[in-house]
Structure 1
Amino acid sequence: MSELVGTTVTHRRYVPHAHAHYGGALVDGAYSLGLFGDVATELCVRTDGDEGLFAGYDTVSFLAPVRAGDVIEATATLVRVGTRSRGVEFEARVVCRAAPERGPSAAGVLDPPLVVTRAKGTVVVPQKV
């Protein structure tokens, strides 16, 4: 199973304006955590053939804001394999951002992407028979 360490899954998603909860079209930090749950699920399916269950976060750092109109990319990387537990590192990055100052539908690609959230956590999967 140690050969699975380093396996990575990435999802991208547009952040709809319906998710803006605060002034300036800000989106709450839980949005990134929801994405982390999704990429962790696919990571478990790919490595263990099971969706697994999220046991908890060891660390979460919110580094920059997420805004409605962003295109956000969430990545999960397997860093530890136990009997049933899996250590996972997460990173969320904004890869495109709305530019309303240029027009109502204007946006641009961020190069490099803006890292908005990092986390480390543990998922559990059924014991192999």
Structure 2
Amino acid sequence: MTGALVEGFAVTHRRYVPYAHAHYGGNLVDGAYSLGLFGDVATELCVRTDGDEGLFAGYESVEFVSPLHAGDVVEATATLVRIGNRSRRVEFEARVVCRAATDRGPSAADVLDPPVVITRATGTVVVPIAAG
């Protein structure tokens, strides 16, 4: 264990969304993409807090706020909000930090300031009982 087991501890990942991931008109990407990012960032959170990948037990809420497009750079943050004996309640947020601007050219893009929130969720992960 790394000693980071404190409420408020957070981990963030960033990823470029390739055009191959677009599933719908307008280069839209399905909402499940954000949930996949949340699983990845929850895994790192568990490794850093408990020295184990943990297991995702389930979501309590998921809210799709804005669309995700191919060509976006998206970041996903997991924040530890409650610590049980083996369970960890985690709040997630995914934000678009850069977006393609194809109206200016095929490779043009903009940094979004502020970022656009696309998905929020709350879920629970479970970790093994610490050896001791």
More helix by share: 1
Question: After superposition, what is the alpha-carbon deviation per residue over 1:6-50, rounded to whole angstroms, capped at 9, x for unaligned?
Answer: 110000000000100000000000000000000000000000000
1:40 is paired with a residue whose SS is: helix
Provide the residue aligned with 1:109 in structure 2: 111
Give 2:104's aligned amino acid.
R
Matches within 5 A, 1:29-68: 29-68=31-70
TM-score, normalisation: structure 2: 0.95
Report whether the alignment pairs 1:127 with 2:115: no
Stretches of structure 1 that go unaligned for 5 or more consecutive residues are none
Q: Give how far 1:3 is off.
A: 5.6
2:52 is paired with a residue whose SS is: coil
Distance 1:3 1:19, change over 3 A: closer
Q: Is the 8 A contact 1:2 1:81 kept in 2?
A: no
Identity of counterpart residues, as a percentage? Answer: 78
Matches within 5 A, 1:91-110: 91-110=93-112
Question: After superposition, what is the alpha-carbon deviation per residue over 1:42-74, rounded to whole angstroms, capped at 9, x for unaligned?
Answer: 000000000000000000000000000000000
Stretches of structure 2 that go unaligned for 5 or more consecutive residues are none
Shift >2 Å, 4+ stretches: none
Cα distance in structure 2, aligned partners of 1:127 and 1:29: 33
TM-score, normalisation: structure 1: 0.97
Cα distance in structure 1, aligned partners of 2:5 and 2:56: 22
Q: Is the 8 A contact 1:97 1:107 kept in 2?
A: yes
Q: Is the 8 A contact 1:89 1:120 kept in 2?
A: yes
Report whether the alignment pairs 1:11 with 2:13: yes
Q: Is the 8 A contact 1:80 1:86 kept in 2?
A: yes
Number of residue pairs the alignment of both structures matches: 129
Q: CA RMSD in A?
A: 1.2
1:21 is paired with a residue whose SS is: coil
Q: Is the 8 A contact 1:37 1:54 kept in 2?
A: yes
Q: Give how far 1:108 is off.
A: 0.3
Cα distance in structure 2, aligned partners of 1:115 and 1:64: 7
Provide the residue aligned with 2:75 in structure 1: 73
